Chain A
């Protein structure tokens, strides 16, 4: 109720004062986000201190917001609803996790490998003790997978629900693969028990603050990239492709390259978000790849408003905020609420919360 009221107030405010106010609100939110890690560094008994729990929670939601933004680029602009973005997120997370596991294990093998009685690292773990190579993997693993899958999918012009279900099948297959112990990524338990990152204690206040700061920077950078892309000619072609692919082809464009580019960019963004998520949350396991997680990301975008870039961020914040509250207050009813959200958003909010705000403004 208060939320709706706030939205109306917000809408009224924007209606009166125009885009300057939107910008001001945006800058205010950014300032708060940048202040949070600094406040976390204050002594614990200080009135303005931000607890590690809140910082981690907000950091987690910011990572999800980057995923929502990435998904909006492919769904909102190119019309490709991916139900497998959790896979790219998790791949980035696993690449980061490999580095963190090597850091915690020192010269030895990661603990889960000793349980499996393995004597040496599998080949794909080669070089993961180097932070630079791990960062390359964060980009390469999701990027290459998206490239190969996208190449074949767009070549045969798979789109619409076919594309959605194929991506869902992809992330499902990935989940099954990572659940196996033999795959060499810790099986069911995944990676956890990290202690150090770049030589710093991973639970120290400074490290947390730095990771949070990095997340905010990545979010702002992806938002900037998104705006640049969306307002360029490239973005116009993507929108045209979403609305009438055949007509675009008749005009002499080849849609495959456009789709593939935005698809890979989106996957890499997800990978980066995953890489920042893992050290903050402290665990990565195959359930991140479950189809449920990926499809939940779609509702963040739908709730916020597709094709608006800001909307998905808002949606990710709203849904995850609600989830944190519900799972504590009424754990039984969260799935009812989420299910109802899916239905209400698609039936009554085709343009999301942002669309609602705009409509209020127009009236």
Chain B
């Protein structure tokens, strides 16, 4: 008999946690809002692994109750009683949580997730607790910190703990916490230290340490900010480069500005959209690869349009650059309206594939998005290809010859008309590639290209015509200057300042940074 008795007892013991959880769920559901808040606070301070499903359900709005005030949890569409067996009595009503209870649920859940197996989950929980922790969690955090073996989770927990220790009655504990906060580069640490200094901190040593820590934190944040600005400058520069590279080639070659160049970017982006649609419809399993497939298609589409433009309009305006400017503007109006009529005036949705979304966290206040990193690399790759094409192929030789001296090249047998057409196709095609890149980071709409023509032309002016190196330097220079000026004096004033600087720069070097030497005068 003792055997049977033990078995029963053991069975009961095993059932206990389940019963505890179920009982808690029922109590929670039956309680009023004040009582529920109290419960959540208690749970957060003393987590039990068995409570996790209930908290998760609470956070995801999957808890309901029947008329007997018994708790039910929705799982995969069906409602199950929290204590396992009971059938619902009467209609189920979903539990509604107010904002305060929601906040408390999040804290309690994070506190429970510190017990999770997965280190990433624990890290996320610790980060959550850095933001918002009730003082009651202090002992629990200390126990977890002692038990934690993952370094990054440990660091995050230390910070969360330091936040709590700032209000400790013992000045020594506060001092330690302040010093700990100084070692992090977290934006939150700054706000905590600032509020501590602005508050009623009486201990002079803590005050001094807090000031020192604050300076340290600010320093680290400044570095993060500067790196962030430099990175967004590089990112803007790479986009400017993709937009301006083709313009630099055609402007160098023909001396005309193609005002429809921005629309090539737009068409490239819309090609990406169409390719994405086709993939969704016909090859959903390979959807992640659609940007790669869009590249050659966008290049072909825009290159063909560019060549057709050169053949039908620009060639007939040879030697009249201002008229070319107006005619190509007319073409850009027609292209924009055509797209607007075909695809609608609203922006279309081009989604990032998984491998382009998200980012890598370098510093607490610096995240580098993957799509921007990829685009910087892509821009450099396109520059490399263009360089190879211009310097290592027959076509490139011809393009350079016509750029330097059209008549002489024609005398030597270079088919200048053909070169013009092919170079125009190349320039437009590069803009099409730029459009694919743009579609991955911004909105795709009919007006997409309009804003790029001025910026691209400024790159060409600054870099000088017919020189790849000049365009690269000018694009990245303008991008970085833009992004560094933006936080100082605002985006608009920054743009105006840069325009003024470029006008002054032209006073000094009318031919741009890298000028081709020539002795031609009209």
Contact = CB atoms under 8 A, between A and B. Distances in A.
Contact of B327 (A169, A338, A343): A343
A172 B451 CA distance: 9
Contacts of B504: 152
Given A160-B321, A164-B322, 18 more contacts: A75-B322, A81-B325, A152-B504, A152-B507, A155-B507, A156-B507, A156-B510, A161-B321, A165-B257, A166-B503, A168-B454, A173-B496, A177-B496, A246-B522, A335-B336, A335-B337, A342-B330, A350-B320
A176 B492 contact: yes
A332 B493 CA distance: 35
List of 3 A-B pairs having minimum Cβ-Cβ separation, nearest first: A342-B330, A339-B333, A339-B334
Interface in A328-349: 332, 335-336, 338-343, 345-347
Contact of A350 (B323, B503, B521): B323
Contacts of B499: 169-170, 173
A298 interface: yes
A335 B333 contact: yes
Interface in B308-356: 313, 316-317, 320-327, 329-334, 336-338, 341
Contact of A343 (B330, B454, B492, B495): B330
Interface residues of A, number: 44
Given A166-B503, A169-B454, A342 B461 contact: no
A165 B507 contact: no
Contacts of A179: 492
A234 interface: no
B329 to A, nearest CB: 6
Contacts of A177: 492-493, 496
A343 B336 contact: no
10 contacts: A161-B256, A161-B321, A161-B322, A161-B325, A162-B461, A172-B454, A176-B496, A336-B338, A338-B330, A347-B317
A158 interface: yes
Contacts of B324: 346
A153 interface: yes
A236 interface: no
A158 B325 contact: no
A246 B337 CA distance: 42
Interface string B236-271: 000000000000000100011100000000000000
B325 A164 contact: yes
Given A152-B504, A169-B499, A335-B333, A347 B316 contact: yes
Nearest to B260: A339
Given A161-B256, A335-B334, A347-B316, A180 B503 contact: no
A75 B492 CA distance: 29
B506 interface: yes
B482 to A, nearest CB: 13
Interface string A232-257: 00000000000010100000000000
A180 B493 CA distance: 10
A332 B327 CA distance: 20
Contacts of A180: 490, 492
A302 interface: yes
B262 to A, nearest CB: 11
A158 to B, nearest CB: 6
B330 A340 contact: yes
Contacts of A157: 510
Interface residues of B, number: 42
Interface of A: 75, 81, 149, 152-153, 155-158, 160-162, 164-166, 168-170, 172-173, 176-177, 179-180, 244, 246, 291, 295, 298-299, 302, 332, 335-336, 338-343, 345-347, 350
Contacts of B336: 335
A222 B106 CA distance: 73
B492 A336 contact: no
B458 interface: yes
B327 A346 contact: yes
Interface in B478-510: 490, 492-493, 495-496, 499, 503-504, 506-507, 510
Contacts of B316: 347
A212 to B, nearest CB: 31
B454 A342 contact: no
Contacts, number: 111
Given A342-B330, A346-B323, A158 B337 contact: no
Interface in B440-469: 454, 457-458, 461
Nearest to B451: A172
Contacts of A340: 330, 334
Interface string B284-315: 00000000000000000000000000000100
Given A165-B257, A339-B331, A343-B331, A244 B522 contact: yes
Nearest to A153: B503
Nearest to A80: B322
A346 B317 contact: yes
Contacts of B493: 177
A176 B496 CA distance: 9
B257 A156 contact: no
A346 B257 contact: no
A158 B510 contact: yes
Contacts of A246: 521-522
Contacts of A342: 326-327, 329-331, 333
Contacts of A173: 492, 495-496, 499
Contacts of B330: 299, 338-343, 346
B506 A158 contact: yes
Interface centre among B251, B324, B490, B506 (most CB of A within 10 A): B506
Interface string B162-178: 00000000000000000
Contacts of B327: 342-343, 346-347
Nearest to A149: B503
B337 A299 contact: no
Contacts of A152: 503-504, 507
Contact of B326 (A169, A295, A336): A295
A138 to B, nearest CB: 23
B333 A338 contact: yes
Interface in B137-160: none
Nearest to B341: A332
A329 B251 CA distance: 39
A189 B457 CA distance: 30
A298 B326 contact: yes
Interface centre among A75, A291, A335, A340 (most CB of B within 10 A): A335
B521 to A, nearest CB: 6
A210 to B, nearest CB: 37
Interface centre among B251, B323, B507 (most CB of A within 10 A): B323
A68 to B, nearest CB: 14
A332 to B, nearest CB: 7
Contacts of A339: 330-334, 337
Contacts of B492: 173, 176-177, 179-180
